[in-house]
Amino acid sequence: MKPLLFTNARLIDPKSKLDQLGRLLVKQGKIAAIYLSETEKAPDDVEIIDCHGAVLCPGLVDMRVSVGEPGFEYRETIATAAEAAATGGITTMAILPNSRPAIDNPALVSLMRSKGEETGSIAILPYGALTVGCDGKEMAEIGLLHEAGAIAFTDGIKALADTRLMMQVLAYTHGFNGLVVQHPEDPSLAGRGSATRGELATILGLPSIPAAAEAIMIARDLRLAELTGCRLHFGHVSTGEGLELIRKAKQRGLPISCDTAPTYFDLNETAIGDFRTYAKLSPPLRCEEDRLAVCEALADGTIDAIASDHMPRDVDDKRLPFAEAAAGGTGLLTLLSVTLIRVKEGTLPLIDALALLTSRPAQLLGQKSGNLDIGSEADLCLFHPDQTWRVEAGNLPGRAQNTPFDNRVLPGVVLGTWKKGRQVYKRVAS
Among the listed residues 200, 207, 191, the one whose alpha carbon sits nearest the alpha carbon of residue 321: 207
Annotation says 19 is catalytic: no
Query: Using CA atoms, how far apart are residues 415 and 428, in angstroms rounded to an integer?
Result: 8
Cα–Cα distance for residue pair 123/105, rounded to 1 Å: 20
Catalytic residue among 104, 259, 309, 317: 309
- Lay out the sheet containing 90-95: strands in order across: 60-65, 90-95, 123-126
* 8 Å CB contact between 232 and 256: yes
How far is CA 360 from each of CA 11, 62, 199, rounded to the nearest angstrom?
Answer: 18, 10, 37
The rounded distance, in Å, linking the Cα atoms of 236 and 263 is: 9
Dist. CA 335–CA 412, nearest whole Å: 10
Q: Do the bridges between strand 90-95 and strand 123-126 make them parallel or antiparallel, or are there none, so unpaired?
A: parallel
DSSP H or E segment with residue 25: strand 18-27
Q: CB count, 10 Å around CB of 169?
A: 25
- Strands 55-58, 380-390: parallel, antiparallel or unpaired by DSSP? antiparallel
Residue 271 is given by DSSP the state G
- Return the active site residues: 309
